Amino acid sequence: MTKDNQQNSTVGAKTQQTAANYLLEFEKVSFYDGASELTATDEELNSRYAKGEIRIVTEQARYPLAGILGMLKEEIEGDNGEKELRYKLDPEYQRRHRWSDERKSRLIESFLMNVPVPPVFLYERDLARFEVMDGRQRLTALNDFYDDKFALTGLQHWLELNGRKYSELPSKIRDGIDRRYISSIILLKETASCEEQAAMLKKIVFERLNSGGVKLANQETRNAVYNGPLNKLCLELSANDKFRQMWGIPLDPKPEEKDADEEVDETLDEPTKTGTNMFEKMEDVELVLRFFAYRRIGEFKAGLNKITEFLDRFIVLGNKFPPDGLVEYRLMFEATVDFLWEVLGNEAFTVLSPSRKRPTRIVYDSLMFVANSPDVVLHRVNLIKNKAVLRRELQAMYKKNQELFFGRRTNFKHTQDRNRCMNEAFAAAIAKTKQ
């Protein structure tokens, strides 16, 4: 090993050790990195299958369209004695973007023409109580149609019906639609023996179900199956005004009315999508989660090559953190965002170059990590007073390490090298601004 390699190895080890020291007490719990592969004999595998260890229990149902409005308004008595809806149409995990009246109208036209419509997918959260896992847009469209909340528009084969609401349709056409059904697949409560297994099986469904041809983004899936205290905190913090401005997300985002059906690109050197698209796919929520999870990146030897797996594991862990720990997380995130806004403004997550003005995750991860480190926190006030110095140090560092901050560098060593370079830039700025 050369002298330079030995030095880099030593610095990398120190970076990991320092990162471990940054952890708060409630964070110091096991975080398995999954490096080893599981093995089993054929006999063990056959036994496991026979026991139905991982097997989803479902049933199918058909609902007449004419009864959808009443079905979605049906109330039953909850465990606390208060009334609740039997069918929870809008659980927290549902998508942020919504259908336009034109898209809703085309669904109605499909039923009128008897074109096959994909089934909705329900989850039995408790006995005879359901959440809509997939198909909320279809059920909402039907509910609004029968409730006379919109007039048909943009029809392609029944143009003569454009401008009419349900109550204004000719009687035979109303009857024709009313006799149609929408199918459902219900994931039954007895599928899982415990809450953790239920979450795992729901995740399998979300990842493999493709009822509408629109793939759920990673955070949409995560929001569905791991919707605990940490996930809710990430949802709240994603609305931070300064954070949204630094990512180019509108402060009051209006979800687009078309489907955002492209896959999420996990490469970190790609510029971010438009702010509205990020909002629709909940990528802003995922970025907040990344900030907290990245504090444990030293324990995940795959680095960011398996970022989805890394975030999934962390949120399972984080949802069990104590309430006072999540209070610390909130303060930590807000203080770090406030600091970076003061020193770098809406260019914070860019490489501070006129030719590269878009924020990237590759900058975000290491910048937020180091800006929140104890060594930097102590000097935040002075760095704000001398923000031009910090900006110059960061610009010089980005330019010197273009291969780390401009290319596809996502393995474990790359994450540690970026943390080291970012730390050195802050240290240089602190040294030059000490009073």
- DSSP character string of 320-361: TS-HHHHHHHHHHHHHHHHHHHHHHGGGTTS-SBTTB-S--H
pLDDT value at position 264? Answer: 37
* Within a domain: 147: yes
| pLDDT recorded at residue 139 | 92
On whether both 221 and 363 belong to a single domain, the answer is yes
Asked if 152 and 78 sit in the same domain, the reply is yes
pLDDT at 276: 80
Which residue ranges of the chain lie beneath pLDDT 70? Answer: 1-21, 31-39, 45, 48-49, 51-55, 90-97, 190-200, 203, 206-216, 224, 253-273, 407, 435
Query: What pLDDT sits at residue 1?
Result: 45
> Are 245 and 342 contained in the same domain?
yes
At 124 the pLDDT is 83
Model pLDDT for residues 219-273, shown as the tens digit of each residue: 877 876 777 899 999 999 999 999 999 999 887 766 444 443 333 333 333 444 5
Do 30 and 62 have their domain in common? no
Q: Do 286 and 421 fall into the same domain?
A: yes
d(CA 249, CA 275): 4
Placement of tokens 């078309």 in the chain: 258
Q: Is residue 369 part of a domain?
A: yes
- Global pTM reads 0.70
Does residue 26 share a domain with residue 62?
no
Q: Quick one: pLDDT at residue 272? A: 44
Q: With b meaning 16 or more CB within 10 Å and e meaning fewer, what string describes 20-39?
A: eeeeeeebeeeeeeeeeeee
Nearest to 279 by CA among 253, 261, 257: 253
What is residue 395's DSSP assignment? H
- Rounded CA gap, 81 and 336, in Å? 43
329 lies in which domain range? 13-36+217-433
Q: Determine the pLDDT at residue 434.
A: 79
Report pLDDT for 142: 94
pLDDT of residue 210: 47
Domain count, the chain: 2
CB-CB contact of 300 with 331 (8 Å): no
Residues 143 and 286 reside in one and the same domain: no
Residue 4 included in any domain? no
311 with 351, same domain? Answer: yes
Question: Do residues 176 and 223 share a domain?
Answer: no
Q: Quick check: is 182 in a domain?
A: yes
